[in-house]
Amino acid sequence: MSDGSGLRWARAPASSANLGPGFDVLALAWSLYVEVGVEPAASLSVRCTGEGSALAAGATHLAARVACAVAGHDRLAITVRSDIPPARGLGSSGALALAAAAAAGASDPLAVAAGVEGHVENVAASAAGGLVSATLDGGRIRVARHPLDPALRFLVVVPDRELETEAARAVLPPVVDRAVATFNLGRMAALLAGLGDASQLDPTAFQDRLHQDARAGLYPEAAPLISAMTSAGALGACWSGAGPSVLAVTTESTRDAVVAGATAALARLGLPGTVRELDPDHAGLVVRHPDREA
């Protein structure tokens, strides 16, 4: 803890990374949250409610590992409340690590969480809110926020299955062709322009050759889900992070048709899941110290 006293809470939003061509660079924060409370205690305790509460709630829990590392000891009572389903491509571990680091009093929660995650875009979106690009520059994390057209609506298909990020990264090729890199750079530029101005957005901006095709064998339902949503009128669709959730971008006029298309596709594929509309979060990481507010 930064001062050794009292309870501190931190809240961090979920996120979708990659956004098609923006592999390991782009991410968008959602109004779906994990909260972590940390306070001094005689010994370590971890209490979890909500999504992920079935995970082991002891010293091996991610929030405990992060908070104890920041505090330098394990005499902490840690509480976790989460609305973010784990292993669904919604940045649950990055948001949890960020909130735990902040609640434990880290001076730079983003750096702590990025060190845990191993890549920065998810935690950067959770820290800053909104649509961001993030990269490492000589060990320094550089985050840029980008405009997001308020006319856009976002739908996420969340299947009732998990896909671990480590497994999804393991199937990626270690080297990519120059033409593949150029293809993705061009699409990412178009995507950023379209997310800032919906009139410029179309499904080609979400095309990717770096990761989605390589991961298709792990989640063959992704391609037909994306096709169904774009056919129903979505301005574009892609994997959310490493999957298995799939993100579609729509407007108010096409939202209901895209929901219907996604729901029908889930039924055809025999894939249990839900279609959720998520609002972007623009606040990012929020930290409060109730003891001092009282």
Domain co-membership, 202 together with 135 = no
Q: For residues 281 and 244, is the Cβ–Cβ distance under 8 A?
A: no
- Indicate whether 157 and 268 sit together in one domain: yes
Q: Is residue 195 part of a domain?
A: yes
Of these ranges, 10-14, 57-61, 172-176, 213-217, the one predicted with the greatest mean pLDDT is 10-14
92 in the same domain as 162: no
In-domain check, residue 1: no
Question: 71 with 175, same domain?
Answer: no
**To the nearest 10°, the Cα dihedral for 227, 173, 161, 252?**
-40
Question: What's the average model confidence in pLDDT over 41-60?
Answer: 90
What digits encode the pLDDT tens for the residues 240-274? 999 999 999 999 999 999 999 999 999 999 999 99
Please indicate, yes or no, whether residues 86 and 213 belong to a single structural domain of this protein: no
Same domain (yes/no): 21, 106: yes
- Cα-Cα end-to-end distance for the chain: 19
Q: Does 199 lie in the same domain as 132?
A: no
2 inside domain: no
Q: 160: number of CA atoms within 13 Å, CB side?
A: 8
The CATH number of the domain where 179 resides is what?
3.30.70.890
Whether 292 has a pLDDT exceeding 80, the answer reads: no
Asked if residue 115 and residue 36 are part of one domain, the reply reads yes
Q: Is the pLDDT of residue 230 over 80?
A: yes
Q: 76 and 68 in contact (C-beta within 8 Å)?
A: yes
Tell me, yes or no, whether 183 and 237 share the same domain. yes
CATH number of the domain enclosing 60: 3.30.230.10
Let me know whether 122 and 160 are in one domain. Answer: no
* Predicted confidence (pLDDT) at residue 129 exceeds the cutoff of 50: yes
Q: Are residues 135 and 181 in the same domain?
A: no
Task: Classify residue 59: in a domain, yes or no.
Answer: yes
146 forms beta bridges with 131
- Residue pair 278/30 in contact (Cβ under 8 Å)? The answer is yes
The secondary structure of residue 280, as a DSSP letter, is B
Residues 110 and 163 both lie in one domain: no
- Tally of structural domains, the chain: 2
pTM for the model: 0.93
Which uninterrupted H or E stretch holds 254?
helix 252-269
Residue 55 belongs to domain spanning: 8-146+280-293
Q: Is residue 3 part of a domain?
A: no
Q: pLDDT tens digits, residue range 15-32?
A: 999 999 999 999 999 999
For residue 52, pLDDT over 90 is answered with no
Q: How many CB atoms lie within 10 A of CB 264?
A: 12
